[in-house]
Amino acid sequence: MLTLLVAVGSFFAFILAYNTYGKYLARKVFKLDPEALAPSCELEDGVDFVPTKKSVVFGHHFTSIAGTGPIVGPAIAVFWGWLPALLWVLLGSIFVGAVHDFGALVISMRSRGQTIGEVASRMISHRARVMFLLILFMALSIVLAVFGLVIATIFKLYPQTVLSCWAAMPLAVVLGVIMKKRGGAGTLIPSLIALGALYICVYLGVHYESMQFSLSAPENPTTYMQQLASPVVVWTGILFVYCYIASVLPVGVLLQPRDYINSHQLIVALVLLMVGLFVAHPEFAAPAINTNPPSDAPPMLPFLFITIACGAVSGFHCLVSSGTSSKQLKTEADAQYVGYGAMLLEGGLAVLVILACCAGLGMGVSDGAGGMITGSAAWQHFYGQSWSGMGLGAKVGAFIEGGGNMIASLGISPEMGVGIVAVMVACFAMTTLDTATRLQRYVIQEMGGAINITALKNKHVATSTAVIVGLIVALIPGPFGPGSGGLILWPLFGAVNQLLAGMAFLVIAFYLIRHGRPIAFLVIPGALMVILPAVAMWMNIFNWFGQEKWLLVGVGLLIELLQFWMLYEAYQMWNKAKGVLPEPLPALTPVNADTEGGRSC
């Protein structure tokens, strides 16, 4: 019964927050103007700036910010117990993450769709822009590497997901053609038909071995070339080729329709998980607070806030808000629905992940020897081992197995339940991967402009640079060959990601003080996202120094230097900026000059 109360209470809190705090921010703080000319209309080019109805943008935005972040983060954080994780997801999503995403979206729309790094140049200083772009480049390089490895690992562990994930691409292209012909209207039915076709592929992948596209690994690889032939490495390479193609295509060809289909896929999966929870109402198999975590686990404070990341707040989200979503919304009036609402739905996903890992697992998992274990023993099977010993497959697998159990309670076969959840995870990771590639392309192009390297402004050169750097990071050699060392940078991602959120809050605060708006509501969230990640980063740096992990030490120190420098820039400009409007954007003749106040495009 407690699990049901947690689920219902959490979703009620999110709905209440959207209709109270979200509306307050929209009307009183950001003062959304439905008559303002949106960048998508002013700069419409059919590639990046594409006026789109809010339901489609919501699908793109949500699936891009979700990915595996709100899955892997909470799945790890329940090491400390389900209660601390749940409280941070609820409070963080409502008062920190949704505010961060919403604010970044609004100020980007009012800056002609500029990314948050470009906006920092006008709100704080030109030097702040370069530092912000460097932090973004490093963070996105880690995102590309890690998410590529996550998807490749899922393909290796769950080959039944491969058919569905790749089948989504041609289905999305067909839907994109339909959306273009209909001008964005009447897209729901075609999307649901595509979703039905996707689930047929899930069924085929689960029940027919010939439809499971697994790659065989060389036996006892000894040479470097043999190690490069491992399934994880091969899938990672294929995924980055796809990322290049998806990044340079017009957004309406693949990105928008694929994300629209995936948003419906997530809604179906969430409904199945919720109904499964009501039918099975499993009890918590995990402790509310784990008083005896693994000896090598870091302290809950501050690492709980860093580990959960996207499930409560994520700096990566400001890149999606300002990098792609701000270029697609038709009107400012849709910003609350997309910016604030999508983060609350992601918080809902994180809540279900916590319940799946802490209660769903207790319904029964294989012990690896042909038997089944249930209750707290099942949870201990995943979480009783050392912190460092729980590999990527186990982190993702805890949610997939627990969520599969909840769906199976509806009479669906356990194999199909696992397949549905595994495909959902892989598809969302792919949306984040290709969106991150497009965002990295924007960052590299902006860096080219900032440091006067003309070649980097070319979208093909910028995309190639993004893909190559991401692939190199992903395939860092480790103890098990190429690719196994890519995750050594994962400890950096959590802290960098949250530091990025702190920097985004700083930019939002400067926008508000320049326009004479209240900023009291930003003080606690902004301070949390500056101080806690910095403390975690320094603790990590000292640990890495003792372990002689010089790459991590070097990158960590560089990031801390950039953060300190940007804070210093902000300190110098704070009093000078109060009440002083930012420098105006350069004059531009609107592409659609005949539109009246952005009400049509």
Q: What is the mean pLDDT of residues 213-229?
A: 68
Q: What is the mean pLDDT of residues 310-333?
A: 93
Tokens (6 digits) for 544: 């890495």
Q: Single out the residue of 126, 133, 132, 114 nearest to residue 588, CA to CA.
A: 114
pLDDT in tens, 514-568: 999 999 999 999 999 999 999 999 999 999 899 888 888 988 898 899 889 889 9
Q: Single out the residue of 494, 572, 562, 580 nearest to residue 533, CA to CA.
A: 494
411 within domain boundaries: yes
Lowest-confidence range among 15-29, 81-95, 189-203?
Answer: 189-203
Q: What is the mean pLDDT of residues 30-49?
A: 93
374 within domain boundaries: no
SS3 125: coil
By DSSP bridging, strand 365-366 and strand 372-373 are antiparallel
Number of Cβ within a 10 Å radius of residue 130: 20
pLDDT of res. 12:
97
CA pair distance 201, 331, nearest whole angstrom:
37
180 within domain boundaries: yes
pLDDT in tens, 259-275: 888 888 888 988 999 99
Answer yes or no: is pLDDT of 343 > 80. yes
pLDDT in tens, 383-402: 887 777 666 667 778 888 99
Mean pLDDT across the chain: 87
CA pair distance 540, 353, nearest whole angstrom:
27
Q: What is the pTM assigned to this prediction?
A: 0.88
Q: What is the mean pLDDT of residues 133-147?
A: 85
114 within domain boundaries: yes
What are residue 53's phi and psi, to 5 degrees?
A: -65, 155
SS3 329: strand
pLDDT of res. 309:
85
Answer yes or no: is pLDDT of 224 > 80. no
Confidence of residue 599 (pLDDT cuts 50, 70, 90): very low
CA pair distance 99, 22, nearest whole angstrom:
8
Length of the chain: 601
Amino acid identity of residue 38, one-letter, is A
Answer yes or no: is pLDDT of 219 > 70. no
Please name every residue paired with 373 in a beta bridge, in sequence order, or none if there are none. 365
Q: How far apart are the first and last CA of the chain?
A: 51
486 within domain boundaries: no
Q: How many domains does the chain have?
A: 1
**Residue 487: C-alpha distances to residues 161, 211, 313, 397 (Å):** 22, 30, 21, 17
| Rg (alpha carbons) of the chain, rounded to whole number | 23
CA pair distance 390, 382, nearest whole angstrom:
7
Tokens (6 digits) for 138: 């490093």
Answer yes or no: is pLDDT of 598 > 50. no
Looking at per-residue pLDDT, the higher value among 358 and 260 belongs to: 358
560 within domain boundaries: yes
**Residue 601: C-alpha distances to residues 33, 328, 498 (Å):** 16, 11, 36
Alpha-carbon torsion (1, 94, 341, 346), positive or negative: negative
32 within domain boundaries: no
Q: Among the ranges 7-16, 58-67, 586-595, which has the highest mean pLDDT value?
A: 7-16
pLDDT of res. 587:
75
pLDDT of res. 129:
81
Q: What is the mean pLDDT of residues 487-510?
A: 85
pLDDT of res. 90:
97
pLDDT in tens, 55-114: 989 988 998 888 777 888 899 899 899 999 999 999 999 999 999 999 999 999 999 999
The range of the structural domain enclosing residue 56 comes to 2-23+51-213+246-364+393-436+492-577
pLDDT of res. 597:
42
129 within domain boundaries: yes
CA pair distance 297, 303, nearest whole angstrom:
10
Looking at per-residue pLDDT, the higher value among 187 and 426 belongs to: 426
Tokens (6 digits) for 380: 């201990």
Q: Single out the residue of 82, 83, 2, 4 nearest to residue 276, CA to CA.
A: 4
